[in-house]
Structure formats: C-alpha cells, structure tokens
Amino acid sequence: MTESTYRIQGATGEWEVVIGLEVHAQVTSNAKLFSGAATAFGAEPNTQVSLVDAAMPGMLPVPNRECIRQAVRTGMAIDAQINRWSRFDRKNYFYADLPQGYQISQLYHPLVGEGHLDVSPDDKNPDQVKRIGIERIHVEQDAGKLMHDQHPTKSYVDLNRSGVALMEIVSRPDMRSPAEAGAYLTKLRSILRYVGSCDGNMDQGSMRADVNVSVRKPGEPFGTRTETKNVNSVRFVMQAIEHEAKRQVAVLEDGGAIVQETRLFNPDTGQTRSMRSKEDAQDYRYFPDPDLLPLELDEAFLEECRASLPELPDAKRARYEAAGISPYQAGVLTAEVEAARWFDALLDAGAAPVAAANWTTSELFGALNRTGRDIADSPVSPTQAAELLALVADGTLSGSLAKQVFEVMLETGDAPAKIVEDRGLKQTSDTGAIEAVIAEVLAKNPNQLEQYRGGKEALFGFFVGQTMKAMGGKANPAVVNDVLKKALAG
C-alpha cells in the first residue's frame, strides 16, 4: 500500500488535504424502492408517480426486494460486512420536492457495513495501490426535482424521481489527493457496472458524489470540513477538491476559520460557492420509520446474492496478467465492463491473449475513439477480430496488411477472409518473386548498395522498405529479411 505525497504549498508551509466521498448511486431496478412506479430515465414529468410517491394519505411503503438485493450484491463486491438485520429511519426536513416531509433512509442500522476499495491513482504505476475504507452503504429514497421557469415567481415539481432507490456509499476520509479521489470514484463506478447494480451514468444523474474536503498541517488532527454537493463527473470531483482545498488554505493563512457548510460546484468556473451552513444530524430528527418492519436477511437470500456476482475487475485483471498480458493493458481492458466482456469473447473465439491485448488496446480502441463509437457499437465482432488475428498468426497477413483489412472491416462489416480474397491482400512468401523484386531494388539504388557494403549497415532498413513498397506491402517481412541479407552479402 502507498500513501500520497500530494501537498498544497502555502505561505506558512505545506498543507495536507483530507477527502471523503459520499456517492449516491441509483439502484438498477424497474420499480422504485417502496412503490411499483417505473424508474425509466427521460419520461415526461410526473408520469411515473404512484400514490405512495406522492405521499397520499393512507399509502404505506413496501420494500422492493430487487433494490435490497442489488445493494447487498454491491456490498459483497467491495468485501463489506452485510448486516442481516437493518432498519429504515425517517429523516425529517421540508423541501418542495419531498411530498412526505421526510426521507426514508438508514442512519443507525445500515444494510451494509464496513468494506474497502483498492485503487491505483497513477496509471503508469498500476501496482502502486492505496486502500480506501468504506464506512457503510445504506439504502434510501430519492426526492423529486424542482424546475424553475425564466421568471423567479414560479417553480414546477417533477416527482418522477421521488421514491427512486439510491445506495449511499460512504467512504472513510482516507483519500489525500484529487488523483486518489478520481481513482476511487472510477473504480467504484466500474464495480457498480460489473455488478449491474447501477449504470454509473453520472451525466444523467444516476450517480453523483458529495465531496467532503478539509485541510491540515501534516500530522495535525483533522480540520473542519465542507461538503460540496451533487458533483456529477470524475473530472469535476477532482476540480472541486483542488479548488476547495486551495480556498481553505487561503482562508486559514489569512487568519480566518473554515465554516462547516454545504457548497456547490460550478463546472463553468471550476469553483465552489457556499450554499448553506451544515448543521448536526440531530436537526433532521431521525427516528425509526413506524410503517416499515426491520429487514432480516436469511442465508438463502445471501447465498443467492453471492452466487449472482460476476468476475470482478481485480480478479479479471489478475487472470489477464497470468495469461501474459501487461499490467497496464490488463487495467485498460478491465476498466469498463463492456470492454472486458468484448475482450473475453475475443479470447473465447481462440485469439492468443498477448496478441489480442496488443491489437485491442491499440487498433480497436484507437478506431473506436476516432469514430466516436463505444465498444458496444463496434462494427467488428470478437469473432471477426479473432479471425483477423488468426490470419496474421498463420502468415496470411502481415501487420501492415492486417491494418488495411481492419479498415475495410470497419467500413463494410465484412469478414476478414472475404476481404483478403476480394481485394487480393494475401501476404506472399514466394521466394522467387521476392528475389526478383530485391534484384530490381538493388539495381535502382547502386549508391546505397555501395554504402551498405562499405559498412553503413543502417541502410538495411532502407532496402527492406523499398522492397515492401515495390510489393505493395504484401511480402512476408521475415522472408524479405532473409532473402535481402543473402543478396546484400553477394
């Protein structure tokens, strides 16, 4: 395990940043936490609202088993304690988009207890790992959404999100740099997507982070923290930490004091601003929800959750590395679940692991980035990619010819063997044909030939290039090298 050395240099010396994240992740489910209303994204306002969500008199909540199951599976994926007995509480506060006047949450007895994530803040050194503690995961219902018109006299309430299930994943204050926080959030989002408990789409609001930041001189007790609410991208989280830490240092070095408060991040300016003072938890008047019995999980339910977990990123990465793939490439291939599934399908189709990793991370990912596609929309299937790599492995295609075939595959979706046949792109190992071309190349370049034979051996590459050019890139490079060495020696 490693410790970050990120510091902020102030007039009075170095300051250390202390960071904790509270991540709100929308649970993947077709219905809300306590009602049967739909959870689909993008519906017209107030079209996915039940009587429970609108807090009509006499309506009682009923827990959605799937939401509880997804939260338990998430806890298992981060090696957390699963509490067989948990309870829902009412968090009382008034807001216009909270019809009940309270939020059903879990303060005292959460569903999931302590766990951890191991993260690699430095992509260039993936083996340098920092362990971030996770304090708890509790399940709660989301509020609705206020929409304001252009005139300050009117606001509208959309209750589609009211009652949607959220997992609040609370870290320990173990992060010490924006890079560590970014790595933690990226890793957490990746695990949620692998498990299938949240889609992780921060731009759509289904995952967002409250960022707790304080500063202190190294070795001193924790300072007063601020909480920057609802930050909706990894990059913005890192920017918010950077700005807020520097702001706090400036306040303290100017003789001021940090106020415990809630702040908002402005992505246009990269700055935070004060929203409201942060009071203690007792102001919410938490008490057990009288309409809901405690949750009691039996062993059969827990075993079902455990058995449903997929191979997770760390295990998959270890498997790839054991197959000879570099740690960096293994990290790239396992970062997103869709890419890992695609690559696994490529291996299942018979591709050699190292060659497949090299081709996927360079050629395929490069092409997808260039064309603005996701791997789920790749015009080349894993089976087609395995066929292309097999043609390289058996000598049918050289590396340069394989690139040409791949470009045609991207455009047409045709199988590589068909492209090779239709366009005559097969690599040749015909010694006689290669000897004839090399003889022509040497005859056209007498000066370079004389220099080579005079000791300028670097010109060997020149003759290889001229030969390959004359043969349209279709000559087998290994055969070209062998024949050329003999011709030059003569």
What's the CA dihedral at 140, 26, 132, 106 to 10 degrees? 0
CB 143 within 8 A of CB 113: no
CB atoms within 10 A of CB 410: 18
Q: What is the pTM of this model?
A: 0.87
For residue 72, which of 275, 296, 316 has the smallest C-alpha distance? 296
Q: What structural domains does the chain harbor?
A: 8-304 (no CATH), 311-423 (no CATH), 431-489 (1.10.10.410)
Does the structure show a pLDDT above 50 at 152? yes
- Average pLDDT score over residue span 15-25: 98
Q: What average pLDDT does the chain have?
A: 92
Residue 117, token pair as written in the block: 């994530």
Lowest mean per-residue pLDDT among 306-310, 353-357, 441-445: 441-445
What is the sign of the dihedral through the CA atoms of 68, 73, 76 and 78? negative
Q: Tokens 């079209």 correspond to what residue?
A: 47
Region for residue 297 given its phi and psi (left: phi exceeds 0; alpha: psi -120 to 50; beta: otherwise): beta
User: Angle at Cα 359 formed by Cα 353 and Cα 364, nearest 5°?
Assistant: 125
Lowest mean per-residue pLDDT among 51-65, 149-163, 374-388: 149-163
User: Angle at Cα 211 formed by Cα 121 and Cα 3, nearest 5°?
Assistant: 30
Does the structure show a pLDDT above 70 at 223? yes
For residue 264, which of 232, 235, 223 has the smallest C-alpha distance? 232
CA–CA dist 94, 85 (Å, integer) = 29
pLDDT the model gives residue 279: 53
pLDDT in tens, 241-266: 999 999 999 999 999 999 999 999 99
- Average pLDDT score over residue span 301-327: 97
Amino acid identity at 35: S
- Average pLDDT score over residue span 440-448: 88
Does the structure show a pLDDT above 60 at 3? no
pLDDT in tens, 400-440: 889 999 999 999 989 999 998 888 777 666 678 788 888 88
Q: Tokens 């062998």 correspond to what residue?
A: 482
User: Angle at Cα 105 formed by Cα 103 and Cα 110, nearest 5°?
Assistant: 175
- Average pLDDT score over residue span 104-116: 97
Could you tell me where the beta strands, DSSP code E, fall in 66-142?
85-86, 89-92, 102-105, 115-119, 130-141
CB 483 within 8 A of CB 431: yes
pLDDT band of residue 1 (cuts 50, 70, 90) is: very low
Residue 167, token pair as written in the block: 């997992």
Cβ contacts of 7 within 8 Å, gap of 6 or more: 14, 15, 16, 218
pLDDT band of residue 487 (cuts 50, 70, 90) is: confident
For residue 178, which of 124, 244, 126 has the smallest C-alpha distance? 244
Lowest mean per-residue pLDDT among 21-30, 314-323, 444-453: 444-453
Residue 455, token pair as written in the block: 């000791």
For residue 231, which of 41, 24, 377, 479 has the smallest C-alpha distance? 24
pLDDT the model gives residue 331: 92
- Average pLDDT score over residue span 307-334: 96
State the DSSP code for 82: B
Identify the bridge partners of residue 26 per DSSP, sorted by sequence position. 166
pLDDT in tens, 331-389: 999 999 999 999 999 999 999 999 999 999 999 999 999 999 999 999 999 999 999 99
Amino acid identity at 98: L
Q: What are phi and psi of 108, to 5 degrees?
A: -85, -35
pLDDT the model gives residue 282: 54
